Amino acid sequence: MWAKIVSVAKYSPFVLVIIALSIFCVWQWRDKAQTAALLTTSTQQLQVANLEIGKAHSQLVSEGLIHQAALSSLDKQLQDEVKKRKALITLYAQLQAKYDAAVEHEETLTSLVEKLSKAKTIADLTEGTLFYKKTDGTLSEVTSIGWNWEDFRLTLKGETTTDGLDSNSVIKIKHNVSYKLHMKIKAQFIQAKLPNGVDTHYAKLFELDAQNKPIGELELTQFEVLTTNALASKMQWWNPKIDLGIGAGINNKLGFAWMGEVGVSLSSYGKTKNDNSWRFFRFGIGVTGEKDMSLTFSPAQWNLGSTGVIPLISNTWIYPFVGTTPINPNVFGGLGLSVVF
């Protein structure tokens, strides 16, 4: 009995390391859960719209909801294109803006179309027509008054003509107006990722002059963005990776055991196939300190570097394992550290 106690005490530093690592893992898990709860509140605040600075109301929703919301709002041509390509819409933004511009005291060019009247007296003038007296005393009929005005955003043309008399014997004046709008608009749209991973969206709309310089900003009246977390962590059931690891533990004889080994894990949980925070179903083969072959199994590995808490570490994994030495039968268990390739 005392021999067993002495054997455990002999390797007490290793036992303390295991306990410390276990406490550290639990602390990391609790800290991550508390941080996630805080980020939920801050995320809601950060995604609120502020139209004065061009900030959108950003909503994080599922890909399916984005696709349906966007598809129902697109014109038929775009709908057909998306369906034809079997595309999945992953970000949808909708904004409205208004722009008011006024021009005062601008001169317009006019031209008078006339024909010489053959009337000799007032009684000979045609009813419902417009005349003016020239400097030589003759009368000339005004058939139309044309005018036009143009700047960098608008070409405006008009024509005024007479159209006989109405039922009250009042002359009718007809106005024809045509215009061409050739405004130039510049849009700036950005998606910004904050340090906590929250996406925010900003847009600015400007009117440009003839030299393509901004001269006015359109006022946003609505700005809604639907997006999804394209890099949300998910399970990859078949994603084998090889790693190199070292492990230490206690065997069934309460003796200290350590080994170097090569392992392969079959599944993962993370943002991509190469960006994982967890790996599962690891099998290892290696050599113990007594130069005996070892076979180990670990249900899960956790990436210490995924928390960002430990500087300079981004691909270091910790895992519990059980194993055996088939040549000189022993069973052991402990903790290991590995680097995944």
Q: Is the pLDDT of residue 18 over 70?
A: no
Rounded Cα gap, residues 77 and 90, in angstroms: 19
Rounded Cα gap, residues 83 and 282, in angstroms: 42
Residue 309 — very low, low, confident or very high, per pLDDT cuts 50/70/90? Answer: low
Rounded Cα gap, residues 335 and 22, in angstroms: 10
Tell me the torsion sign for CA atoms 17, 20, 22, 28.
negative
Pick 234-340's CATH classification: 2.60.120, 1.10.357, 3.30.2310, 2.40.160. 2.40.160
Residue 4 — very low, low, confident or very high, per pLDDT cuts 50/70/90? Answer: very low
- What does DSSP say about strands 293-303 and 91-98: parallel, antiparallel, or unpaired? unpaired
- What does DSSP say about strands 57-60 and 219-227: parallel, antiparallel, or unpaired? parallel
Provide the strand spans (E) within 138-275: 139-150, 154-165, 171-181, 184-193, 199-208, 214-217, 219-227, 234-236, 241-251, 256-270
State pLDDT tens for residues 166-199: 888 888 888 899 988 888 888 888 776 666 666 7
State pLDDT tens for residues 82-138: 788 887 777 788 777 777 777 776 677 778 787 777 766 667 777 778 888 888 877
Half-sphere exposure of 273 (CA within 13 A, CB side): 6
Q: Which amino acid is at 336?
A: G
Q: Taking all residues of the chain, what is their mean pLDDT, rounded to a whole number?
A: 78
> Domain-by-domain residue ranges, the chain?
47-229, 234-340
Q: Which residues contact 223 (CB under 8 A, 6 or more apart)?
A: 49, 51, 54, 55, 56, 57, 93, 94, 95, 96, 201, 203
Rounded Cα gap, residues 282 and 263, in angstroms: 6
| Residue 40: per-residue pLDDT | 47
| Residue 329: per-residue pLDDT | 84
Higher pLDDT, 8 or 310: 310
Copy the structure tokens of residue 88. Answer: 């999945």
**Other Cβ atoms within 10 Å of 119 Cβ, number:** 15
Rounded Cα gap, residues 182 and 170, in angstroms: 39
pTM of full prediction above 0.95:
no
